[in-house]
Chains A and B, each alone.
Chain A
Amino acid sequence: MSAVRLKPLFHYCNREEKPRSLHRRSTNLSFSSSSSSYANNNYDKWPKLFSNFCKFKHHPRLCSIRASAAAETALVDTDASSGRLLFSETFQVKRVQKVEGKTSVRLDKKGDGGNYQLTVGCNLPGKWVLHWGVTYCGDFGREWDQPPPEMRPPGSIAIKDYAIETPLKKSSSVLEGRILYAVQIDINANSSIAAINFVLKEEEMGSWYQHRGRDFRVPLTGQLEEDGNTIRGNKGFSIWPGAFSQISSLLLKSEGSRPTGEKHVGDAKESQLQNKHVEGFYEECSFLKEELVQSFVTVSVTNNLKEDNTFVRFDTDLPGDVVVHWGVCRDGTKTWEIPPAPHPPETKVFRNKALQTLLKSNKDRDGSWGLFALDKQILGLVFVLKLNEYTWINNMGSDFYIPLTGKSSLPNPTSKSEHKQTFGTVTEPQEEQTGSGSTAEESQAVAHVAYTDGIINEIRNLVSDISSERSTKAKFKEAQQKILQEIEKLAAEAYSIFRSSSPTFLDEEPVSEPDEVLKPPVKICSGTGSGYEVLCQGFNWESHKSGRWYSVLNDKATDLSSLGFTVIWLPPPTDSVSPEGYMPRDLYNLNSRYGSLEELKALVNRFHEAGMKVLGDVVLNHRCAQYQNQNGIWNIFGGRLNWDDRAVVADDPHFQGRGNKSSGDNFHAAPNIDHSQDFVRNDLKEWLCWLREEIGYDGWRLDFARGFWGGYVKDYIDATEPYFAVGEYWDSLSYTYGEMDHNQDGHRQRIVDWINATNGTAGAFDVTTKGILHAALERCEYWRLSDQKGKPPGVVGWWPSRAVTFIENHDTGSTQGHWRFPSGKEMQGYAYILTHPGTPAVFYDHIFSHYQHEIKELIALRHRTKVHCRSTVKITKAERDVYAANIDEKVIMKIGPGHFEPPSGPHKWALAVEGRDYKVCLCQL
């Protein structure tokens, strides 16, 4: 939400004893009212702008509120003592106020071994979390890395792959008389950590606290450049509320980030840092934290028996000047009128529509009060409070209404009917609307709401406002601000929609040409193959052990083909430091633990004969060196591609590369290749083309595709024109404190972004779907299998033709088991991916297990029904214990223990495959 729109909702005012504090509140007046106080809503003169705000809900919580109101009237009734109390009510007002606190950062030496302990503390109560990461020695730039596990204090949670969140705990220490919340991090002397970076997060308010607009940074070695942002500076904090991208931070920064504390305890001078490790130090910084503060406004009405007057008394503890912007009503319509003079002191007439009365401030305490004398004929008083030019308080979106006559004031059995009566008057007569310009205009300041749909009309109004003589500079600026925010919002919205939808291709529509036989209509796209592919992962983590895996597969080729697989993914073929092949060394040496070059060629040939395509597993992100450079670093390559350190990315600390910075994430165990350089790309293209020709590979499985930009992948694909290509883009799903989020749009967006960067030339493994299946099956939460739009929640829901769905691979399962599919539920997973769009991949271990028969049945059904990678899914059930979907109106499937029967209707459905907790039915025509 943008600054201007928020502005009127916030209430700034200054407390005398804390001149710097900034009060904000949103208009959630906790509201207690007798049922008759249906305030006249003068904003409905601007129905377009304010309709959202006006949807105030009436809570006739009569008894309880009544009690509290009565209790607090005790302190109210002083002046009109001779009268009869007709009405009294206390409105609770919640505001946000800023409290000044201190954060301490302490680095202590622990023993002589060069170990350190970092203590970060904060002396305000709250749900504090330290959001932190480290910079390793030799790393440049500001990227964070995750600290090694032994450094993470108990209770830490990994955020993505670069940060840790550790909650602060109440400690026994005290800072400035308040309990310190603190967390300790131990730093081992042997770790190669150059610095610790962190920000503080307060979870109740959702605010982030930075150090001078950037991350806190505690250097542990002297080699870091001093860029003015390390903790040993002496400026205060800036507050950074809300989510990272919010614009409101701009506003708040300017208002709230005045450097407040200037503390520089500890005497470590920068000059002492030149060498290896630093001395301990201690430092404090001040910051402002937002807290919710309750205020009240009490209104009491007394009847003076002697004179024909009614007294209305206002009392509030709201600090600063409080102006009551008010009018009276003579009938039930709640139309604002100005009462006849005399008016209370300090009253101004506002545009012939309302009065503005400044309340008198209390001498002994915060707040102010006022007493208005009114004619007895007046039925009610309507008001809103104005704290300053931008800050108005209303009653849950409508005006406060105070009934002045005894009979309607207190809750009574007739209030219901009165409710109706007053409610009816909310819709005002037409002529009233025309006359109410000024009030309406005024109330514009109270609430700004973005209405995308009505925006054009709104602009028109703004334009006419601008041109009118009334227009002021402030108004004009406001209009500008509003428009610019609207433009920004619209552009961002358009971007997000466009980005999430794949381009429309005409040839994706089914073509029914009569002369189909002459030319196969199948368009081959390297990301999808024919669209009818079923992939087999032809190895597991142990396959290298036999030393003759290629021969093993050779014998199974016919089997695999008859199981219905159309594509097989073979293990990485090159010379490798690790036996599994994922640490490639000499790319042109294809003798590996899986077999020799000749055996590989024969195998590929064998599969081609069996009618299957073959994918080569190519590791392009990193490559192991054969030689050390003069510093003893392994970054000189051998073999035909005898690159040196110029081919290695510069930001990998361990390998001293001289190339450019990596265009993706780093794989830390081997030198990461710098794909941004032409010679590297040309060499790799040549190598890939050689693999295509020499070995006969039909396509690629791209290892660790996160490691470099998808655009380079496009380059490689374009150069090699594979039949099928799939990239491994594997990062973690989003979890909130150990529980997987339902919405994994961010996760799949990253994968889709990668596919998009390859220009759709490569597909990607649908890690999102696997993750969601995990949660759904493991916890019996099948509702997770439908996203907010009723589509599949994985990549397959957004870009099915480029999603390669799988439930297990050599990393997640096999003997590694990094992220194993819920045991015993594999067939549910296969029932899902083998019936759904996307290109399903089946893991070797599952093929040659007791599941083989069921898998075969499912693949056969997929081929029979011609379900393909762009098939349409209609999710018919996504409940706690059952998920059901209709694919292409040809297949109905369900998984989960819950009950499901195919619908009766024009189509008849016959059970085709069934197993534990899953069922697949076919349409019988």
Chain B
Amino acid sequence: MEVSVVRCSQTSVGKVEFSPRKLGFCNSMQICPKSKRIGFDLTRRWKMPSVRVALKAIRSDISRSEAVVDEKAMRKNSPEKPDDCVRLFVGLPLDCYSQQNARAIAVGLKALKLLGVEGVELPMWWGIVEKEGPCKYDWSSYLSLAKMVQDVGLKLHVSLGFHATEDRTAALPQWVSRIGETQPDIFFTDHSGRRYKKCLSLAVDDLPVLEGRTPMQVYEQFFESFRSSFADFMGSTITDVSVGLGPGGELRYPSFPLKNKSQIPAVGEFQCYDKHMLAQLKQHAEAAGKGNWGLSGPHDAPRYDDSPDSNGFMREIDGSWETQYGDFFLSWYSNQLISHGDRLLSLASRAFGDSLVTVSARVPLMHSWYKTRSHPSELTAGFYNTATRDGYGPVAEMFAKNSCKMIIPGMDLSDEYQPKGSQSSPESLLSQIMNACKGHGVHVSGENSLASSTSSGFGKIKDGISSSEDGLASFTYQRMGAYFFSPEHWPLFAEFVRSLDRIELHLDDLPDNGARVPSSTAASEQINDRHMQAV
């Protein structure tokens, strides 16, 4: 399940409908003194969320009038100013396209709505929608889910996935896999020739490998089909669309093995050995006048499970990465990735630019070996980020150029729980990426890692949200399912949701809100408004 706490920028007029409610939250502090909050009895675990919901309702109700006033004021304000309020989004199981869990999801949606969550994240798979054949789109299962979400009165964040998942809940369309049987070079390939068949290589982006169409054209038509199929939902129920840029839906190379048996994460391998990648490398090298550099990838690169120091390339001291060749290769390798992201995101922002939705995409948090000088995991994944070079500035710049929001996973990870010897630092990496985004004015959404969360993980997430003063745009919590609703997990989650609200109140405590007195006539108006919002 994913929960997004969205602090949206008011870039589009269509969003204004949220503002009364959000402002309502802000003002609530003046109206409802803390003493009115019910004393929480810790033994009754459900009490807290419910109290929160009810209070929320009151708060938003009473504060209608100045919300209207402020709405106007805000329109005058710079649209870049992030809205100070937090919205909550909740996502759905990866396999929600199957009708099997429809009832569970329906029930779950209601629970989330009552808990005060704003919306859900819905992963939509290329392999499901365009399953039957090229351009034969079937959105029916997702349309019914969207309807279900709309009926409950939640918002929708759609994730369009062009990859297959590791757990086999989603695959590439069979017709694509079949093409891959005969043309295996459409897949990422490692040094020893192993193909990664869960995602197309970025080198074929503009090659007509898919029955005459290039992957970019396929994606574009997919976007178009999505947009027209969900036209009724766009901008109203659907507020966010995120685009999968690579393996696992993230902007990266599939550089680390799927199953990692050792405790310490792998450094990974470069994935530049499919025919098309090699051709582009060659071309690039020749253009740079270094023809012999373009014949292959680095000969001294690590194998998947190597440690950074066991090979010549990633070695901290005197590693090839610091040589001129290293710089040449790594620049090319990372630029390939950024250009791929740019291509796809510009398609997406063109397709959805006028749809009143926010476009976003996910980057990975390659945090292992971060404390070494060479940052090998990041290098193999395609981020040229080392002790001497900032690799995330260009990425953030690319997001900024396409007005896209960046989603960063791993918000629940903390340095102290990382395996010893992995030189891992998720916290430092996170803050580096956040800073890069800040520098380029890119809004950031958070996600937790796929691992099941603990209360310490929730604490970490909370800290992350409250500490970033410029605002984390959203947070996405992985993921609805049996565990999510289990007695071990659900209370923690409910507690988390409630505590997010507290953060929000802290923010609202700031003096600049001034003393506003609600007018009683606002109440009835607000009732109508509530109805409209909830329908």
Question: Out of B101, B110, B174, which one reaches A497, CB within 8 Å?
Answer: B101
Contact status B526-A467, CB under 8 Å: yes
Q: Which residues on B sit within 8 Å (CB–CB) of A462?
A: 54, 57
Enumerate chain A residues within 8 angstroms of B110, measured Cβ to Cβ.
Answer: 452, 455-456, 486, 490
CB neighbours (8 Å) of B451 from chain A are none
A459 contacts partner chain B, Cβ-Cβ < 8 Å: yes
A-side interface mostly? helix
Is A911 on the interface with B (CB-CB < 8 A)?
A: no
**Is the Cβ of B169 less than 8 Å from the Cβ of A481?**
no
Nearest residue in B to A485 (C-beta to C-beta)? B46
Q: Does A250 interact with chain B (Cβ within 8 Å)?
A: yes
Question: In the complex, how many angstroms separate the beta carbon of B270 from the nearest chain A beta carbon?
Answer: 27
Report the minimum CB–CB distance from A257 to chain B (whole Å).
15
Please give me the residue from chain A that is nearest to B43 by CB atom.
A250
A467 touches B490 (CB 8 A): no
Contact B61 A494, beta carbon cutoff 8 Å: no
- In the assembled complex, the Cα of A466 lies from the Cα of B524 at a distance in Å of 11
Q: Could you tell me if B115 and A487 are in contact, using CB atoms closer than 8 angstroms?
A: yes
Chain B residue numbers with a CB within 8 Å of A486 are 110-111, 114
Determine if B51 is an interface residue (Cβ-Cβ < 8 Å). Answer: yes
**Which one of B57, B107, B108, B115 contacts A467 once the chains associate, using CB atoms below 8 Å?**
B57
Q: How many contacts A-B (CB < 8 Å)?
A: 133
Q: Using known A-B contacts A484-B47, A490-B111, A513-B178, determine if residue A506 contacts B168 with beta carbons closer than 8 Å.
A: yes
Category for how many chain B residues contact A: 35 or more
- A506 touching B50 in the complex, CB below 8 Å, given contacts A250-B44, A490-B108, A495-B486: no
State in angstroms the CA–CA spacing of A480 and B224 once bound together. Answer: 44
Contact A506:B47 (CB < 8 A) given known A486-B114, A487-B115: no
A499 within 8 A of B: yes
| Known pairs A483-B54, A501-B101, A501-B104; A467 contacts B111 (CB<8 A) | no
Interface residue B197 (Cβ < 8 Å from any Cβ of A) = no
With a cutoff of 8 Å between Cβ atoms, the chain B residues found around residue A250 in the complex are 44
Cβ of A124 within 8 Å of any chain B Cβ, yes or no, is no
Q: Are B50 and A480 in contact (CB under 8 A)?
A: yes
Q: Which of A481, A488, A491, A503 has the most CB of B within 10 A?
A: A491
B38 on the A face (CB < 8 A): yes
Contacts of B152 in A (CB 8 A): 456
Chain A residues within 8 Å of B82, by CB: none
A494, B104: Cβ atoms closer than 8 Å: yes
Nearest-neighbour CB distance to chain A for B279, whole angstroms, equals 27
In the complex, chain A residues whose CB is within 8 Å of the CB of B51:
480, 484
Q: Is the CB of A456 within 8 A of B38?
A: no
Asked if A493 lies at the interface with its beta carbon under 8 angstroms from chain B, I say: yes
The residue in chain A whose Cβ has the minimal distance to the Cβ of B164 is: A506
B89-130 toward A: CB 8 Å interface, digit per residue (1/0)? 000010100101101110110110111000000000001000
Tell me which residues across on chain B come within 8 A of A503, comparing CB atoms: 95, 167, 169
- Choose among B38, B114, B167, B481 the residue that contacts A487 (Cβ–Cβ < 8 A): B114
Checking A455, A495, A506 against B482 with a beta-carbon cut-off of 8 angstroms, the contacting residue is A495
- Measured between beta carbons, the chain B residues less than 8 angstroms from A463 are 57, 61, 527, 530
What is the bound-complex CA distance between A504 and B480, given in angstroms?
14
Given contacts A467-B523, A494-B108, A497-B101, A504 and B485 within 8 Å (CB-CB): no
Interface status of B153 (Cβ within 8 A of chain A) = yes
Nearest neighbor of A502 in chain B, beta-carbon distance: B100
Residue A492 CB within 8 A of the other chain = yes
A505 within 8 A of B: yes
Q: Does A507 contact B (CB under 8 A)?
A: yes
Cα(A760)–Cα(B522), bound, Å: 56
Complex contacts, B168 vs chain A, CB 8 Å: 505-507
User: Roughly how many angstroms separate A753 CA and B488 CA in the complex, as a whole number?
Assistant: 15
Would you call A490 and B58 a contact (CB within 8 A)? no
A268 to B370 alpha-carbon distance, docked (Å): 68
List residues of chain B with CB within 8 A of the CB of A456.
110, 113, 152-153, 534
Contacting residues of chain B (8-58) with chain A, CB-CB under 8 angstroms:
38, 44, 46-47, 49-51, 53-54, 57-58
Chain B proximity of A755: nearest CB distance (Å): 13
Residues of B within 8 A of A (CB): 38, 44, 46-47, 49-51, 53-54, 57-58, 61-62, 93, 95, 98, 100-101, 103-105, 107-108, 110-111, 113-115, 127, 152-153, 167-171, 174, 178, 181, 480-482, 484-487, 490, 494, 520, 523, 526-527, 530-531, 534
Complex A-B: 8 CB contacts under 8 Å = A483-B53, A483-B54, A484-B47, A486-B110, A486-B114, A487-B50, A487-B115, A493-B104
Known: A497-B107, A503-B95, A507-B171. 15 other contacts (CB 8 A): A250-B44, A456-B534, A459-B114, A467-B526, A480-B38, A483-B54, A487-B49, A487-B111, A490-B114, A491-B485, A493-B104, A494-B108, A504-B95, A506-B171, A513-B178
